[in-house]
Amino acid sequence: MFRSNARALNRALERLKNVQTKVNEALKRSGIQEKSLERKLRIWLRKVEENVPLGELILEKRSSCAIWLSDKDVEILEKVKRLEEQGQDLIKKISVNKSSREIVERVLGPSFHPQKTALEMLDKLKDCLKKKNVQKIGVWGMGGVGKTTLVRTLNNDLLKYAATQQFALVIWVTVSKDFDLKRVQMDIAKRLGKRFTREQMNQLGLTICERLIDLKNFLLILDDVWHPIDLDQLGIPLALERSKDSKVVLTSRRLEVCQQMMTNENIKVACLQEKEAWELFCHNVGEVANSDNVKPIAKDVSHECCGLPLAIITIGRTLRGKPQVEVWKHTLNLLKRSAPSIDTEEKIFGTLKLSYDFLQDNMKSCFLFCALFPEDYSIKVSELIMYWVAEGLLDGQHHYEDMMNEGVTLVERLKDSCLLEDGDSCDTVKMHDVVRDFAIWFMSSQGEGFHSLVMAGRGLIEFPQDKFVSSVQRVSLMANKLERLPNNVIEGVETLVLLLQGNSHVKEVPNGFLQAFPNLRILDLSGVRIRTLPDSFSNLHSLRSLVLRNCKKLRNLPSLESLVKLQFLDLHESAIRELPRGLEALSSLRYICVSNTYQLQSIPAGTILQLSSLEVLDMAGSAYSWGIKGEEREGQATLDEVTCLPHLQFLAIKLLDVLSFSYEFDSLTKRLTKFQFLFSPIRSVSPPGTGEGCLAISDVNVSNASIGWLLQHVTSLDLNYCEGLNGMFENLVTKSKSSFVAMKALSIHYFPSLSLASGCESQLDLFPNLEELSLDNVNLESIGELNGFLGMRLQKLKLLQVSGCRQLKRLFSDQILAGTLPNLQEIKVVSCLRLEELFNFSSVPVDFCAESLLPKLTVIKLKYLPQLRSLCNDRVVLESLEHLEVESCESLKNLPFVPGNTGMINEQMAWEYMSRTLG
């Protein structure tokens, strides 16, 4: 009995000491500095320090004589076991305490293929991070060899163990070829959660340094460094004693860069050996690579890729699913012919050229167009497609929607060929820098038909006249610091594209400048500070796309009458007061964007009516007030002109009152593929969302509005500070003969007088397909009241957002919950001062399977809910919950954790809950 108890005590002590070590390390690494929080951890550590010596003393005294353990000794054994269990929970709470998204942020990109050499390099990099005498680590190798993939994998591996890895913060910055100190500092500052005024910009380095010193230890990953960077000037305090445990990892194509930055360790990422290159090639090509007929040739193709991962992946995916031997032989011949024999980088370009050669002719030019944008630039897909159409690379005869569909399909094909990749935000793409280098190399080396001048994002101050030749077809000087444009330029009769956007210092376009480009098809001057354009602008008879977005000083334009081929006109957020003269003569015009034109006051009558090819009219956020026929201002366009446009597919407009948009316009909404309607007399109101059919009504009395016919086509409805909502809803309930099945999202803001009118209870679910519901300052005690009021069953609801509902006591009760929320995935609740619980299950039968009520609920976010006591009762386990955030909910006592599923909660709540658990 003694030996059994002694062994159990000994094992328990060993486990407890291991946990004690992990807790100490985790506490140190998590970067917690608030003394009140540390004190709660110390309570557990103190108990461990008190009980471990007692347990060891028992073992020492009892080992010399085989006697029974006393009850007091057994009590110590049980305490040790309890402390060990509490310690394990504590480690989990520390993980919760310091959100992994705060310590490490995921970096998106191609996945890391787990081959032996790659894993060894990753292990070597991790070992360097653990060495005390290593602060700066260089990762170098040729373009496309996998440097970024290696450090991205390191970053994302640290994310998996964010709370227990050694750094208080991991910072990722992409530097790029054209290093901009301020931009890199701003990226670091943003990661540190810092915002700066213009006056503070000169103090960026000092502020970053002070913040990083406070962190104690950090990891900074600088990806794609082309030139040595002065880390002290950047604000990185590696030389200070308190930062000795901090590290910097940089990637570069040049070992010299690493050496000049005085790295302590340098890891070369080399091309793959033959065996691993073949494995990676087969992984991307698929089973066809090992077929009897193809395999011998495939081996030679893989060999021609020279072990370069980028080339292997690109060529492999190009040949994926192609079993024809003839295709493989042709590929091999192209590879052998296209790869130069001297410069290794040119050999890479040769392999990339093979993927280029596989493209259809129109796709080749579309691909090369993407290289006109700066390095690491995220290109908006819709804008890219319009460029392609304007230059004539895509068939401009299709309808706008068909044109967009074709363009998106082409983009996806380029992504599948690894020639494009996802951008940093939704619906954007960008080029890998090696692929971009190849495209620029190709355009400069192929001579006639491809010649482009690409100097985007190079920090140019003066216009590079010496680089111009008359045969240049595309000119991209976007995102520079040009101070002025010259009046005299070598005439470029073949120039079709001129991209100058982002040169914010340019205040004037000289008359002689545009005369040098008589055959322009695309002119983009977005973001420049011009007030108008010169008279020579009217001579651009071939112009198809004029883009002047964010030209906030632009007040007027010369007449557009002579630009008969113009298809796309973008004046977003310009200062124009009236639509340009001569617009009515542009029978080819298919796209007009004058969104956020806050000073637009005049559209002459008949102008819109003449635009017979117009497919897109985007006036979201415009100040122009549309009149109704018979009530219009003299000489001004009316909404009736819009309804007469035969090809219109997208319309975004603002009207003063919902009553002005009568049932007569029903045929218009039916034929539109997408619309955004805002009804509001308030000038500053934001336009509605970006869905297919968005309707927003703000600051309007809707008591007499009959909009049931309009809601048949609406996918998103936003009601903002509207009087008479009870009357409008009663109208819908009593008069609607069918549900509004298109509606996917409903937002109601400020509805303080919700009341159920007598006999108004709906037997029909008005919004049966509703997926998103947002309620702000709505007078409800429970969301369930909407069931009776609007018939809401919420069967399809995925997202629920509630804020400022001061009467709300619970989100849902049994009546609404009983099997009616099968698709709810996320709940956000903020500033509901009387909310006591989320779900009330008190009357659910004992034999009812409560878990099935919320089978897909994975995310709950709660903030500023002072009366919230619980989420649900003890009978219910939220088994699908993956993410839980709680902030300023002082009364919350019970959290719905299940084994292995702790969710994520904020720092303060984690400690409050932990201290109760530990007693």
Residue ranges for the binding site for ATP?
Answer: 141-148
CA 275 to centroid of chain Cα atoms: 37
CA 910 to centroid of chain Cα atoms: 28
Instruction: Read off the tokens for 94.
Output: 């520390």
Give the residue among 492, 500, 498, 489 at the shortest CA–CA distance from 465: 489
**CA distances from residue 24 to 14, 18, 45, 245, 715 in whole angstroms, order as listed:** 16, 10, 8, 17, 53
What is the three-class DSSP state of 250? strand
User: Contacts from 235-240 at CB under 8 Å and sequence distance 24+?
Assistant: 235/185, 235/188, 235/204, 235/205, 235/206, 235/207, 235/208, 235/209, 236/208, 236/209, 236/212, 237/209, 237/212, 237/213, 238/135, 238/136, 240/213
Phi, psi at 365, each rounded to 5°: -65, -35
| Number of DSSP helices (H) and strands (E) in the chain, helices first | 27, 28
Distance CA 170, CA 866 (A): 34
- Annotated binding-site positions: 141-148
How many CB atoms lie under 10 A from the CB of residue 825? 16
User: Contacts from 15-20 at CB under 8 Å and sequence distance 24+?
Assistant: 15/84, 16/48, 16/51, 16/52, 16/80, 16/83, 16/84, 16/87, 17/52, 19/84, 19/87, 19/88, 19/91, 20/45, 20/48, 20/52, 20/87
The separation between the first and the last C-alpha atoms of the chain, rounded to the nearest angstrom, is 32
Distance CA 135, CA 881 (A): 40
Phi, psi at 292, each rounded to 5°: -55, -40
How many CB atoms lie under 10 A from the CB of residue 142? 21
Which residues in 649-666 are b (16+ Cβ under 10 Å) and which e?
A: bbbbbbbbebbebeeebe
CA 585 to centroid of chain Cα atoms: 41
- Report DSSP letters for 351-363, one per residue: HHHHHHHTS-HHH
Burial, 109: exposed, middle or buried (Cβ in 10 Å; 0-12, 13-18, 19+)? middle
**What DSSP designation does 843 have?**
T
- Report DSSP letters for 560-599, one per residue: -TT-TT--EEE-TT---SBPPTTGGG-TT--EEE-TT-TT
What is the three-class DSSP state of 795? coil
Tell me the H-state helices in 446-529. Answer: 511-515
Instruction: Read off the tokens for 416.
Output: 């599948």
Give the residue among 373, 398, 374, 375 at the shortest CA–CA distance from 383: 373
Strand ranges inside 794-888, DSSP E: 799-803, 810-812, 826-830, 837-839, 859-863, 883-887
Instruction: Read off the tokens for 489.
Output: 């330029």
873 Cβ contact partners less than 8 Å away, ≥ 6 residues apart: 841, 842
- Report DSSP letters for 290-356, one per residue: GSTTTHHHHHHHHHHTTT-HHHHHHHHHHHTT---HHHHHHHHHHHHHHS-SS-HHHHHHHHHHHHH
CA 567 to centroid of chain Cα atoms: 30
3-state secondary structure 683-699: CCCCCCCCCCEEEEEEC
Phi, psi at 153, each rounded to 5°: -65, -40
